[in-house]
Structure 1
């Protein structure tokens, strides 16, 4: 007999895979039962369990905020109470007032229970304060005894290390007190005075500078030079930027103002030249020749100015547009000044001269403006070039100085690396001194009150600070970590006690004000309802104040501190080393959680309506799809017709494209159909069902493959016995194909039930949401941090699928040809 040996690695791998697969399920289940929020806890399992999330989903509680709002709606006689009679409203208001009283009474009772439990916990811990103190001191002393500090000789390295430790410490600081003996031994100076301490530090500084070989001073000097260079560079860059802005503004003036004006003047001069040619053709003469000396002088002046500009702009390659405008202007002016002798006697020549006299001032003004703009640009460009050269020199200096600092720092780093071990020894000496002071401070603890808790908190802070800066994971680190873990409950209790001391009095004041407001409401609600019944709109200011108390005063004065206290009480259940107080802590946590549920404003949801919508849509889609596929698959399996083989392949090919890519077309189709058939339109369940009826081809091919496995002889025998083709289909084929039809029905139901994208596009009204769409609403908006509610909704939403699967399970495993009697 051959015996097979199991492979241990295979089992380990399988266990790991199963754990990974089941982890999300375990997280969902545990989170749905947590009283604390998963977002605030790193633990997968907790002892703070509740079914409140399931209650909020299955049967939401009408707590105080709901009742106050409902009472306002009754008194104002608005929906859904607008059709109620006066007597019905009074009875409903009386019933709601009694419920409010019951909630207030329950709050008082639970608050008193929580306060009593807190007093028991506080009394117990004060009675055992000596035990707590002794346990903590013993832990500290064990930690102190485990600190092994080597002797430090009077060497240059140790002096330098001591300087690095004390150089940033003040006189009479903790580090000074811890290292005072060593400091005086190394320097021979009495450090009992400030002057002596500073003198000793200066003495140590000489040892450090000797070891550092002057690199420390070089770093400071080079850093000063580098800072000066950076400061100058920053100043020059600001100047450079300002000059660039000025040049850009000047360029904008040239482009937007000067060049367009020059173009307009050039056009005017061109028109004058055309007029000049026309004057040559005229016959009318003037008896007095026109004096054109002023005209010629003005034109000549303009041409000279243009020549000067063009010569000065020879090196300005980037101003070609301006140059071209000036050149064209010069051509027109030159042409205008040529051959005017034969025109002096022409009658119209005087008109030309007058027109130019009007144009000349504009021309001179724009030319002067151009000259000023070009001159300012030239000056600024010259300054920019100088600044640019200086910036390049400074950048080189900056690079060199940075490299020098890096080099010096590398040298200093090498020195400090040598001093690392002595510094650690000195830090251990300081830590030992702090531990001794902490033990001395804890020995003066007499009780477990606020001032005593501060001493414990200070001790814990000392341990944590040193642990965070400790350099290796050795036995000392493990002891410190264990001590921190052992003392953590004291810090939790301090926070818990500080929060618990604040809110009870505030809550009692709120309860008293609520009782007073409720008494006022009882005296007045009858008159309010009578007025509302007469058609007068009534709003109770008493109820408005009650809602403000619930919504604002409770939240601001009570809820924040109460929630922290509840969470800290839950943490203390696992941390506190005394089992005697765990029951009271659990009771505090339970009572505070219940008070919060009574006063908490809960967002309205339609969970069961969403589940019902999904069940209805999924059942209808699954039934229609299965029916259509069962009928459509039969011809492809049993009949022979043209296109039979490639027809189903074509349908499958179309099915390969996801339905989401057709959503625009489907959306437009539903929008069009909704105008004529309202129940099949956008934001309707009928329209969603229509959109889901797209997964036909794949399921039809699946059923067709199953039909092919059923012997045709069964149908032939039935036809021989007188059955029609349809009778043989639904009496022979359908019963035998029940397993595959069940599978298709289940697959379509599950796929439709969990579908999100199509539903998100089509549905808009929150009451029409499906389960998947509603579940997404639990993860955003007002439910964004309600992980317990989200996971509970996820688990409850699985119920229809589980029920359907279990009810159809026997069909899934039924025989292929059960009931066949003929071959």
Structure 2
């Protein structure tokens, strides 16, 4: 007998895996049914359920914003009403006006119903205000009695801890009142006056300083030094940055202005030297020798300036290009100024000197400018070196001072660690005093009005503040948390009541204005339609105002407060301890939600068209792929030809690369084909179908593998009986291969139906979108992600795939079970 052993860890693991896998599905289902958006609630399940998201997808309601826009289109006689007759337009406008009236009447009725429910809730809570007060006070007294505070003796540690608690508190504060008795016992000073309080604090300070051993003062002094060092460093860094900018600007002048000018002068001097050699070779002479003293003096002056400039630049390693250029200039000038004695009698030598006289002022000017620029750079670099040295010294000081402060703070931290427990005890004393004061305040509550709700909120704030600062999760923390949880509904109700007090009056004013505008439109609509039918463009200012009311006034004055009130009412259904008011709260939530749906600007969509596009594309792609693969796989399975083995491997190798990497080529191909075959181009379903036909190799390999399992004797018998090769294929092979053909069809259909990237690239027109692109449109609402609509669309979009799978399931099962054939 085999004994089966259970493995609890295996079961736990499987349960965990199932929970992880099913969580997204559960989230999608619950979010599609919830009234509050998932962004506003952390609950996975909620009592605020609705089918509105499905209604908006399946049969979108023509609410007020839609009707107002539609009326404007009718009055102006624009598409889709541009072909309608005058009588048809008048009937349609009249029908739409009646629909608007019914929406306004429904809004008024639902608002009155919500107000009546609110008044009943408010009256009930006021009638039971004493019960609410007593219950809250009882919970707080139980909490107060559970606070255990140890006695504090007059030790140095306790005095120092008391100083830390009170040093930041002013005279007569809550902490002072709570710790007054302890303060007077420790110091022996009457703290009933401000002077006495300050004297007592000074007395406690001595105990703290004795315990801190002067490290507080050292920290303050060192911090002042550190701040001074940082301030000086900041100033020096600014100076350093400014000087660097000046040097960079000077370098730019040298690079962009001075060097190009010197290059041009060097070229001119080189040409003058060439001219001088040509003059030397000519035989033309003048009877009067040329006086070249000024020429020699000018060239000597330029050479001397160049020598001085080069001496100044010995220490500059960064300007080698400028140095080389100056050396070349010097060579050209030296060559030009020497050996001219035999040229004085030449006729053209005077022309050469005139040319140089024009060039000489430019050369002197640019050399002076370059020398001044280099001198300014040299001065700034010297200052930069001094600043850099000083900054390094200051950085060392900063590091040392920071280390000192860290050391002192470590000492202070050790002292404060010793004082942590006494401080907690003192904080408990203060909290107990606050709690007693809060209980006393709540005892004065007479009703459940605004002022009374403020007292409850103040009490809740006291509890939350202490709970947030409490140091451990013990029994006291659990008690406080429980009291806060019990009182949370009061805060929710306060917020709910404050919002509900505001929006009804605003909504009534908006309804009154809408009724007035609608009456004006009803009187003038006939004349406006008549004018529009005569070919004039007509626009109704009344409708424009109505649209502003719906689009802006309602949103700004009503919707925000109404949405908060509706959400708070839904929360109160789960939180309020009185079952008698839950029905009215649920009614308020329902009525306000319906009012919001009447006035809300809905997201325009073509959901069913998107699903239909996906179904059409997926069916065609699946049919073509399955047909082509079924036919193409047959030769590879049954026939013998050259390249049979490596041909299918080559196709598979190509299939290993994702189809997206070919999108540029496919896009260009579709763009080209669309010019000649419009239905197979960019932004067409035909083009998208063409782009999706990329899975043929892989699916062909699957079908080929299945064909290999079918005995060849069946075909041979059919051929012996007179069937052709093609007849044996579609009469014998295809029926037996139905399971794999069904699998391929399903896989291609599902993959195509859910594909996003290729569709996003090819399709631009929103009416051509597929289901996946449409989902992305729902995921980006005008203000936030509309999770309810998104998840509802996701669930509805699964319908075609589920129907197809269920309809083909019996073929899958039956085909797989009778797929084996014995010879």
Aligned-partner Cα distance in 1 for 2:690–2:166: 80
Structure-2 change in CA distance of 1:334 and 1:8 (3 Å): closer
Give the Å deviation of 1:743.
2.2
Contact 1:714 1:820 in 2 (8 A): no
> Structure 2: 5+ residue runs without aligned partners?
none
Q: Secondary structure at the match of 2:815?
A: coil
Structure-2 change in CA distance of 1:803 and 1:356 (3 Å): closer
Structure-2 change in CA distance of 1:342 and 1:751 (3 Å): closer
Q: Secondary structure at the match of 1:444?
A: coil
Q: Which moved more, 1:662-671 or 1:214-223?
A: 662-671
Aligned-partner Cα distance in 2 for 1:278–1:44: 100
Aligned-partner Cα distance in 2 for 1:326–1:692: 71
Give the Å deviation of 1:284.
4.4
Contact 2:780 2:786 in 1 (8 A): no
Give the Å deviation of 1:722.
4.2
Aligned-partner Cα distance in 2 for 1:737–1:275: 98
Q: Which moved more, 1:238-247 or 1:66-75?
A: 238-247
1:726-755 per-residue CA deviation (whole Å, 9 max, x = no partner) reads: 333333333333333222222222122112
Give the Å deviation of 1:813.
1.6
Contact 1:33 1:49 in 2 (8 A): yes
Contact 1:714 1:822 in 2 (8 A): no
**Correspondence for 1:126:** 126
1:180-229 per-residue CA deviation (whole Å, 9 max, x = no partner) reads: 11111111222222222112111111111111111110111111111111
Q: Which moved more, 1:751-760 or 1:269-278?
A: 269-278
Q: Secondary structure at the match of 1:539?
A: coil
Structure-2 change in CA distance of 1:659 and 1:245 (3 Å): closer
**Correspondence for 1:655:** 655
Q: Secondary structure at the match of 1:689?
A: helix
Aligned-partner Cα distance in 1 for 2:667–2:362: 67
Give the Å deviation of 1:781.
4.4
Contact 1:191 1:200 in 2 (8 A): yes
Q: Secondary structure at the match of 1:192?
A: coil
1:4-25 per-residue CA deviation (whole Å, 9 max, x = no partner) reads: 2322222222221111111111
Aligned-partner Cα distance in 2 for 1:404–1:499: 56
Aligned-partner Cα distance in 2 for 1:502–1:715: 84
Q: Secondary structure at the match of 1:476?
A: helix
**Correspondence for 1:575:** 575
Structure-2 change in CA distance of 1:731 and 1:325 (3 Å): closer
Structure-2 change in CA distance of 1:24 and 1:293 (3 Å): same
Structure-2 change in CA distance of 1:377 and 1:454 (3 Å): same
Give the Å deviation of 1:254.
2.2
Structure-2 change in CA distance of 1:763 and 1:213 (3 Å): same
Give the Å deviation of 1:372.
2.2
1:611-632 per-residue CA deviation (whole Å, 9 max, x = no partner) reads: 1111111122222222223333
Give the Å deviation of 1:691.
2.0
Aligned-partner Cα distance in 1 for 2:659–2:535: 54
1:536-559 per-residue CA deviation (whole Å, 9 max, x = no partner) reads: 111111111111100010001000
Contact 1:159 1:186 in 2 (8 A): yes
Give the Å deviation of 1:73.
0.9
**Correspondence for 1:211:** 211
Contact 1:717 1:822 in 2 (8 A): no
Q: Secondary structure at the match of 1:35?
A: coil
Q: Which moved more, 1:264-273 or 1:566-575?
A: 264-273
Give the Å deviation of 1:817.
8.5
**Correspondence for 1:600:** 600
TM-score (norm 2): 0.96
Structure-2 change in CA distance of 1:241 and 1:640 (3 Å): closer
Aligned-partner Cα distance in 2 for 1:761–1:794: 21
Q: Secondary structure at the match of 1:547?
A: helix
Q: Secondary structure at the match of 1:783?
A: coil
Q: Which moved more, 1:756-765 or 1:354-363?
A: 354-363
Q: Which moved more, 1:389-398 or 1:111-120?
A: 389-398
Give the Å deviation of 1:816.
5.9
Q: Which moved more, 1:563-572 or 1:660-669?
A: 660-669
1:766-789 per-residue CA deviation (whole Å, 9 max, x = no partner) reads: 111111221122112438521111
Contact 1:64 1:103 in 2 (8 A): yes
Aligned-partner Cα distance in 2 for 1:39–1:770: 27
Q: Which moved more, 1:226-235 or 1:285-294?
A: 285-294
Contact 2:284 2:346 in 1 (8 A): yes
Aligned-partner Cα distance in 2 for 1:158–1:575: 43
| Residue 673 (1) aligns with residue 667 (2) | no
Aligned-partner Cα distance in 2 for 1:165–1:238: 43
Contact 1:778 1:784 in 2 (8 A): no
Q: Secondary structure at the match of 1:815?
A: helix
| Residue 452 (1) aligns with residue 438 (2) | no
The number of aligned residues is: 823
Q: Which moved more, 1:397-406 or 1:356-365?
A: 356-365
1:82-123 per-residue CA deviation (whole Å, 9 max, x = no partner) reads: 111111111111111111000000000000000011111111
Structure-2 change in CA distance of 1:655 and 1:320 (3 Å): closer
Structure-2 change in CA distance of 1:562 and 1:286 (3 Å): same
Structure-2 change in CA distance of 1:171 and 1:656 (3 Å): same
Give the Å deviation of 1:674.
1.8
Structure-2 change in CA distance of 1:52 and 1:293 (3 Å): same
Structure-2 change in CA distance of 1:521 and 1:349 (3 Å): same
Contact 2:633 2:701 in 1 (8 A): yes
1:377-432 per-residue CA deviation (whole Å, 9 max, x = no partner) reads: 22222222222221111111111111111111111111111111111111111111
Structure-2 change in CA distance of 1:290 and 1:708 (3 Å): closer
1:15-70 per-residue CA deviation (whole Å, 9 max, x = no partner) reads: 21111111111111111100001111111111110000000000000000111111
Aligned-partner Cα distance in 2 for 1:760–1:598: 33
Structure-2 change in CA distance of 1:193 and 1:345 (3 Å): same
Structure-2 change in CA distance of 1:681 and 1:366 (3 Å): closer
Aligned-partner Cα distance in 2 for 1:267–1:636: 79
Aligned-partner Cα distance in 2 for 1:681–1:244: 59
Give the Å deviation of 1:287.
4.3
Give the Å deviation of 1:717.
4.1
1:311-340 per-residue CA deviation (whole Å, 9 max, x = no partner) reads: 232222222223223322222333333234
Structure-2 change in CA distance of 1:279 and 1:122 (3 Å): same
Contact 1:140 1:435 in 2 (8 A): yes
**Correspondence for 1:631:** 631
Give the Å deviation of 1:656.
2.5
Contact 1:736 1:816 in 2 (8 A): no
> Structure 1: 5+ residue runs without aligned partners?
none
Q: Secondary structure at the match of 1:816?
A: helix
